[in-house]
Chains A and B, each alone.
Chain A
Amino acid sequence: MFPLGFFPYIIGGILIGAGVSLIFIVTGLHATQSSFFDTTLSFFSKRPYFLQKQYLDSRGWRITFALGIILGAMIYTMTLSAESFFTTSVEWWRLAIGGFLVGFGTRLSKGCTSGHGISGLASLSTSSLFAVLTFLTVGILSALVIQNLGVVP
């Protein structure tokens, strides 16, 4: 059930929660991730959808947040991590197809693991609870079905 132990996950969860909480307490913002795609596209697209006021107002801090996340992961990798920088052995086209589906799905459901799973559940949102139950269930079922079809990553 927990081959790598509990601690990396619990400590990681507390730190992620601390980051989101700090931002909420100081600024009142819900620091979620996948809306970053919409708001950043507003720099490049003239479509009315991307030019909504809430996107234009939040695109600056969302980029700042994303850069902070990359730096935080980099600091961990260069300091406490046992193995330093790494690459994945998953092939690029699988990452591309998976990334497309995840991107499409998070926009369709208006949130990702972070938006629905952390901020949404923490705000006691029923729709976020349904979103989390749905994406976890479908993700697990897809992974198990594909594994049982004999596909090896």
Chain B
Amino acid sequence: MKIKHIFVFIGGVLFGFGLAISGMSKPEIVLSFLQLKDLGLLLLLGGSALVTALAINVVPKILKKPILGG
């Protein structure tokens, strides 16, 4: 077990928790998006892409390389 895996695991837990809060573990909610009854998936996708965009595009300007060296 490398230290990298601990952070990957914590990130996965956050991911799964967020996915469950938004109800995307239910096929019914995904379907209600595809039938345009609930556009929440766009907020979910947009929100997560926006947060990740900051991490990918802004953080490397401050940190020269990943904390664990990459």
Contacts and interface: CB of A to CB of B under 8 A. Distances in A.
Contacts, number: 243
Contacts of B4: 26-27, 29, 61
Dominant SS at the B interface? helix
Interface stretch (A39-47, A103-111, A139-147): A139-147
Contacts of A66: 12
A15 B19 CA distance: 8
Contacts of B23: 4, 8
Given A13-B44, A16-B44, A31 B15 contact: yes
A14 B35 contact: no
Contacts of A6: 40, 43
A22 B10 contact: yes
Interface residues of B, number: 57
Candidate in B32, B36, B41, B52 with the most chain A CB atoms within 10 angstroms: B52
A56 interface: no
B63 to A, nearest CB: 7
A36 to B, nearest CB: 11
A27 B70 contact: yes
A76 B26 CA distance: 14
A11 B14 contact: no
A126 B25 CA distance: 28
A19 B12 CA distance: 6
Given A25-B55, A64-B5, A72 B12 contact: yes
Given A2-B40, A27-B4, A73 B47 contact: no
Closest 6 pairs (CB-CB, A-B): A68-B12, A13-B47, A17-B51, A72-B16, A15-B18, A12-B22
A21 B55 contact: yes
